[in-house]
Structures are given as structure tokens and as C-alpha cells.
Amino acid sequence: MLRIVLFLATNLAVLFMAAIAMAVLTALGIIPPDAPYISMLVWCALFGFGGSILSLAMSKTIAKASTRAKVIETPSNDVEHWLLSTVERQAKQAGIGMPEVAVFDSPDPNAFATGMFRNNALVAVSTGLLRLMSRDEAEAVLGHEVSHVANGDMVTLTLIQGVLNTFVLFIARIIASQFDRGRFMIYIALQMAFGVLASIIVAWFSRRREFRADAGGAALESPAAMASALNRLRAMRDAPSQLPDNLTAFGIRGEGMLKLMATHPPLEERIARLQAQG
């Protein structure tokens, strides 16, 4: 759940810096202010895809730092042994390299997978998930995250984000160029506004990929275990959330406009889809 919010937040920050970099290069004459549309589109693609790829390349480092995740290098207890052996088994079944496995301290049941390469990813679970779910349920969640890696979901979303970033920079640039005064501030404001809209589109694609990861978790463990894990989340949905207010859309809740930013479909829809496939 956290992997997308971290990716989107990093991408917005990088996109903002790309906009400033393009403005500076224009001021220095490196990018002609009256460059033809095709030439400008090429520059925007360079920065747009560059920012998106940089976000993905930084994703593991940022995820570890922001969640204070502890990577299990040498297991020190039974739970850590079980986590490593489970992910190792699932990774072999999925045909990917062994990911790093980490645990982060959070009372909410949460997990995420991230990384630039299928054979060098990170899978992390929260202490809340380990405490509140049975081992069968937790293994299904781990299978869900390993499936994200095997399906190349982060790379797919990076490419989508790169395309969107390109048009965010390009359209903002074209509109801002029509103003004689305050052009730079208008450009930055438009770029940030369009960047938020682009994040909504990425979140929509993310919701579609969740169904596939649910199917993967069911295949790596069992449909019953995956359904039980989702039902466990649904049962806890009405409990007070410990997620920060600005992250609730990325947990198991999200109402009103927050639904547009939610990276996961409604639990009822995920459970129904899983039951239909089973």
C-alpha cells in the first residue's frame, strides 16, 4: 500500500525540480524559449521520463528511510526465519530473484514491494500485519507483494508516469508561454496542478494491477488464504486508523475525492473478483 504513495510523492518532487531545471536551461539559452513544439516535446520527454525513472531508482532507499524498515540480513528469531523462507519459496515459484525482506514498525496491517529490478526488489511488512493476521493470511499478503514484483508493476507504472510527466511539462509550458507576465510562476502552478491530475491517472492504473496481484497471491498460496487476508482487512476497516491523515487513501479506506487517489480498489470488489476467479 505504501509503495505507490512513496513513488508518487517522490515523482512529484522530481517533476517539480525538472520544471525548475527546464526554466533555468531556458533562461541560459540552452533550451530556446521559442523552440518548435517537436523540439520542446523531446526536451519534456527527456525530463519527464528521467524524473519517473529516478523516482523508481530511489524507491527502495526512500521506502527504507521513510518507514524505518529493518532489512533482515541474519534472522534472529522464528518470525524472521519464517518471513525469509516464505519469500524465498514464493520468489522461486514466481521466477524472480530473492528480494530483500524487511519489517517496519506500524500498528496498521500494511505491506509493500518496490524496486527497479525484478531480481533486486524489496518486500516489507508491518509489525501490525504480523500481529493481526494469521500466518496463512500473512503468507498470502507476501505472495501478493511478490506478485507485484514478478508482474513488473513498478516498471509499468514508471513508464505510464513517464508518459504523463512528459505531457504535464509540455502542456504547462505551452499554456504558460501565452502569458507575457508571471510566466514562470504560471508554469510552475500549472505543472503542479497537472502533476496531481497525472497522479490520479497513475492511481487508477494501480487499482487495476491490484486485482492481478491478488490472483498472484492466491496462486502462490491459496485462494482461501488470500480471501481470508482481504476479509481480515475488511473486518478491521471500521477500526480507528493509525495512518497519517494524508495517507489514508493509500490504506484500506478512502472516501469522496480520496477515492480518486486510492491506489487499491474497494475490498468488497477485490474479494468478489477473487471469488469469481476461484
Q: Which residues pair with 122 in a beta bridge?
A: 100, 114
Give helix 135-150 / helix 153-176 axis angle, nearest 10°.
Answer: 60
Q: Which residues pair with 100 in a beta bridge?
A: 122
Q: Residue 26 half-sphere exposure, CB side, CA atoms within 13 Å?
A: 18
Residues 6 or more apart whose CB falls under 8 angstroms from that of 245 comprise none
Q: Which of 139, 145, 210, 221 is catalytic?
A: 145
Is 137 among the residues known to form the active site? Answer: no
- Exposure of 16 by Cβ count < 10 A (0-12 exposed, 13-18 middle, 19+ buried)? middle
- Exposure of 169 by Cβ count < 10 A (0-12 exposed, 13-18 middle, 19+ buried)? buried
What single-letter DSSP state applies at residue 125? E
Residues 6 or more apart whose CB falls under 8 angstroms from that of 135 comprise 82
CA distance 144 to 56: 20
Place of cell 519534456: 44
- Active-site residues: which are they? 145
